[in-house]
Amino acid sequence: MAKMNLLQAINNALDIAMAKHDNVYSFGEDTGAFGGVFRATSGLTEKYGRHRNFNTPLVEQGILGFANGLASQGSYAVAEIQFGDYIFPAFDQIVNESAKFRYRSGNEFNVGGLTIRTPYGGGIAGGHYHSQSPEAYFAHTPGLKIVMPRNPYMAKGLLLSAIFDKNPVLFMEPKRLYRASVGEVPEEEYTLELGKADLVKEGKDITVLAWGAQVEMAEKAAEMAAKDGIDCEVIDLVSLLPWDVDTVAESVRKTGRLIITQEAPITGGFASEVAATIQDQCFLYLESPIARVCGLDTPYPLSHEKEYFVDHLKVYEAIKASMTY
C-alpha cells in the first residue's frame, strides 16, 4: 500500500495499463511531456515515449475522432479532455460514434478500447466553464459506460477496469478532490467492478445516495445527522451507466427514505432518473418522498459559488426534512 492522492492514483493506473499492453495510448491537450494541466499524465512520456503518451492539437472533436479510430483498430485509446466543460465539441463523436459503433455495425466493429478521462465539477472558483458536471447528457446515451470515482482507491481500480473494459467508458474525475483526497492505495494492479455501487456507511433510517465528489457532502451531512440521532446509510453510486439499481433499491426497502444529491442542475439530472426508478421499485416501502438535493437550474456562477454549491448543509437539511415528513 502507498499513500496517494487522486491524481497519483490515476497516474499510477495509467502507468500500469501502459506497462501491461504496448497498445495502450494516452493523449490529450498538454498531456505529453508536460503531464497535463493537472499532471495526471506526468512521467508517462519519459517512461513510454512520445508515441504512446502525447500532446494533441487543440481540438476536442479531433481527439475523440482520433480515439474512436484508434480504438476501432484494436488499440486501447485513453483520451483526456482537459475539462469536462470542453467536451462538447466532441459530443458528436461520443454520442453518435463511440456509443453506436458496435450496434450500428452489427458488432462488425467496436470501440471497446476507448476510455475518455475528463475532470468535472465545481468548488474550485472555476466559474461557468471550469465547474460543470455534464454526466447527465451522456447518461442519456445507450452504448456508453459512465464512471465517477470518489477517492484514490476507487479511481485506480475503476480506471484500470475502464481501460480494459470491452465498451467505451466515460471516466469523470472529481477535480476538486484531485489533491484533496488522499488515501491508501495498493501499488499493484487491481480492478473494481463497473456498474456496482459502493456502500460507504451502513445505516437504518435513511439512504443518502451520491457519486463522485458529492459523496463527501453526503458523508459530512450524515455525520451531522448522526448527532441528531439519525442513522444514515450512505451509498456511492460509482457508475451511472449502467447503474446498480439493486443495491440502491435494497437499501431503500430497508430505510424507507432516499435523498439523492448531485452537483449538476436539478432539472434533467441523473438524480431524477434514480428517483423515478426507485419509486417504481420501492413504492410501498417509501415513508417520505424521494428528495433530490442538486444544483440550481442556472449556469455555475463564480461570485455566488458558495451559495450555488450543493454543500453538506443543504444535504443535512434535506435529511431532516425527509425524517420529519
Partner 1 sequence: MAKDKQHQLDIVTKPQFIDGSALKIPMLQLLAEDGTIRKGAELPEMDKELALKIFDTMQFIRILDERMIAAQRQGRISFYLSSLGEEAASIGSAAALTDGDMIMGQYREQGALAFRGFTVEQFMNQLFSNERDLGKGRQMPVHYGCADLNFMTIASPLATQIPQATGYAYGQKMDKTGNCTICYFGEGAASEGDFHAALNMAAVYKVPAIFFCRNNGYAISTPSQGEQYAGDGIAPRGVAYGMKTIRVDGNDVFAVYQATQLARKLAVEENEPVLIEGMSYRMAGHSTSDDPTGYRTRDEEDAWRAKDPVVRFQKWLQAQGWINEDEAQKNYDEKKAAVLAALKSAETVPVPHIDEIIEDVYDTPPPHLKQQLEALKAHIRKYPEAYPKTASRIDGGDK
Q: Which stretches of the chain bind partner 1, using CB under 8 A?
A: 29-30, 32-34, 37, 55, 57-62, 85-86, 88-89, 125-130, 266-267, 296-299, 301-304, 306-308, 311, 313-314, 317
**Closer Cβ to partner 1, 182 or 321, answer by number:** 321
To the nearest whole angstrom, how small is the minimum distance from the Cβ of residue 270 to partner 1?
A: 18
Catalytic site includes residue 317:
no
What phi and psi, each to the nearest 5 degrees, are found at residue 106? Answer: 65, 30
The residues with which 115 forms a beta bridge, in sequence order, are: 78, 169
CB 169 within 8 Å of CB 147: yes
Residue 130 annotated among the catalytic residues of the structure: yes
Please, how many CA atoms are within 13 Å of residue 255, restricted to the half-sphere of its CB? 30
How far is the C-alpha of 301 from the C-alpha of 317, rounded, in Å?
Answer: 23
Helix (H) or strand (E) holding 184: strand 182-185
Nearest residue (CB) to partner 1, 128 versus 204:
128
Which C-beta is closer to partner 1: that of 166 or that of 306? 306
Least distance in Å: CB of 299 to partner 1?
7
> Nearest approach, Cβ of 117 to partner 1 (angstroms)?
17
Instruction: Give the separation between CA 115 and CA 113, rounded to whole angstroms.
Output: 7
User: Of these residues, 29, 80, 97, 130, which one is catalytic?
Assistant: 130
- Residue 171 or 308: the one with the smaller Cβ distance to partner 1 is 308
Burial 155-188 (b: 16+ CB within 10 A, else e): bbbbbbbbbbbebbbbbbbbbbbbeebebebeee
Distance CA 125, CA 309 (A): 11
Minimum Å distance from CB 126 to partner 1? 7
Main-chain phi, psi angles of 79, to 5 degrees: -100, 130
Q: Of 29, 60, 97, 173, which is the active-site residue?
A: 60
Active-site annotation, residues:
60, 130
